[in-house]
Amino acid sequence: MRLDSRPYADRLRKERARLELPQAQVCIAGGVSKSTQVAYECDQRVPDLEYLDGIATLGVDKVFVATGLSATDFAAKHFDWELHREILGAINEFATEHCVSIPPTKLSDLIHLLYDEFSSSGKIESATLARALRLVA
């Protein structure tokens, strides 16, 4: 069955060509057989996330293969920068008020966690924010 509405094959072949990767190397990284790789590149099968994660180790842009947008373009188009700024501001305000120093790696994890929590609604929920921030205090 040809999946014309999902041109994974073209994007997968473009990524292999861009990186000059032979099919055999992609098969190994993706954990699939040669016949499965051929099926992906002929739009006879749809790659799963485990396969995409595997080939990403070779430098393949898995977001591009899945969506048609580079990872950078996808993030720029779908990332809520205003929400990110609000979260960072709230964390900084909390840290200042409570004289807490948050190490950069923990700060990065905290921002990521809170962004994941609030991105579906696009709003910061103060009770959830307070609970998370108390954990770092």
* Domain of residue 18, CATH code: 1.10.260.40
pLDDT of residue 1: 34
Residue 60 and residue 20 share a domain: yes
* Boundary-marking domain end, from 76, 108, 125: 76
In a domain, 3, yes or no: no
pLDDT category of residue 6 using cuts at 50, 70 and 90: low
Has residue 3 got a pLDDT over 50?
A: no
Number of domains in the chain: 2
Predicted TM-score of the model (pTM)? 0.57
In a domain, 58, yes or no: yes
* Boundary-marking domain end, from 76, 102, 120: 76
Domain that holds residue 106: 79-136
CA angle 107, 111, 115 (to 5 degrees): 175
Return d(Cα 133, Cα 109) in angstroms, integer. Answer: 12
Where do the H-state alpha helices sit in the chain? 8-19, 23-30, 34-41, 49-56, 62-67, 71-78, 81-97, 104-118, 126-136
